Amino acid sequence: MPIRYDLRSQETQSHPSMPSLDYYNHKLPHNTLREAADITADEQARLRAQFAPTIASYRRHVRWVWLTMAIGVVLFIISGALGYGFCGFIPIAMIIAMVIAFHAPPLCCPNCDHRIDKCLGPFCPECGRRAVNPGGFFTSPKCTACRRTLRSKQGHCRIRACTHCGLWVDDWGVATY
């Protein structure tokens, strides 16, 4: 006698913490992203404290990259002044700086796990409000709340909030667009 499986009973026994992927039932929540407005202030402070070591490590890596490049340039200038003219200091320093930069931790939001330094979401990275106009082919994205132009040659903005969920991650700013 063959074993028969009842698919309806397996669907009802799904894991309770996993969201449903039923695209035909509009009553089920499809977007599980929690925005910063939906999170309590205590939990936001906990998420910022959780993200603080990542920011510190990222800034430490950036400082080491700049220091390595500066040492390479200084050694090149000193070798030229002494008459040796060794041009290998700058490429060696660039290779070491790239290795240091590739080992920097990724800047992922502790709330939504999206990269905060790569792509631009609906929230402004400068003020954290959901007020970013995406821009067009010839225009840059612009925040209507703080009036910052994002990703332009004239002005760079610091990433203080996640652009996907609006969580305020750092007061000083993590990186620039």
- For residue 141, the model assigns a pLDDT of 85
Q: What Cα–Cα distance (Å) separates residue 79 from each residue in 69, 72, 96?
A: 15, 11, 19
For residue 142, which phi and psi values (nearest 5 degrees)? -140, 140
State the Cα–Cα distance between residues 133 and 108, nearest whole angstrom: 23
* pTM to 2 decimal places: 0.71
Q: Over range 60-75, report the average pLDDT.
A: 93
Q: Pick from 81, 85, 84, 101: which is nearest to 93 by CA? A: 101
Token reading at 89: 């200091």
Q: How confident is the model at residue 23 (pLDDT cuts 50, 70, 90)?
A: very low
Tens digits of residue pLDDT in 125-177: 888 888 888 878 888 888 889 888 877 555 567 888 988 888 998 888 876 65
The answer, yes or no, to whether residue 21 has pLDDT greater than 50, is no
- For residue 5, the model assigns a pLDDT of 47
